[in-house]
Amino acid sequence: MCIGCGRKQAKSELFRFVRDNEGHVRPDIQQKLGGRGAYLCFNEKCLETAVRRNKFSRAFRRKADDSEAAKAFQCKNTYPQID
Residues within the interface to Zn ion (CB under 5 A): 2, 4-5, 41, 46
Q: How far is the CB of 31 from Zn ion (least distance, A)?
A: 17
> Smaller CB distance to Zn ion: residue 46 or 51?
46
Measured from the CB of residue 5, what is the shortest distance to Zn ion in angstroms?
A: 3
Which is closer to Zn ion, CB of 20 or CB of 54?
54
Q: How far is the CB of 35 from Zn ion (least distance, A)?
A: 21
What does the alpha-carbon distance between residue 7 and residue 49 come to, in Å, rounded to a whole number? Answer: 13
Q: CA 27, 64, 24: angle at the middle one, nearest 5?
A: 50
Of 78, 74, 6, 75, nearest to 40 (Cα)?
6
Query: Of 20 and 75, which CB lies nearer to Zn ion in the complex structure?
Result: 75
Closest C-alpha among 32, 6, 28, 34 to residue 15? 28
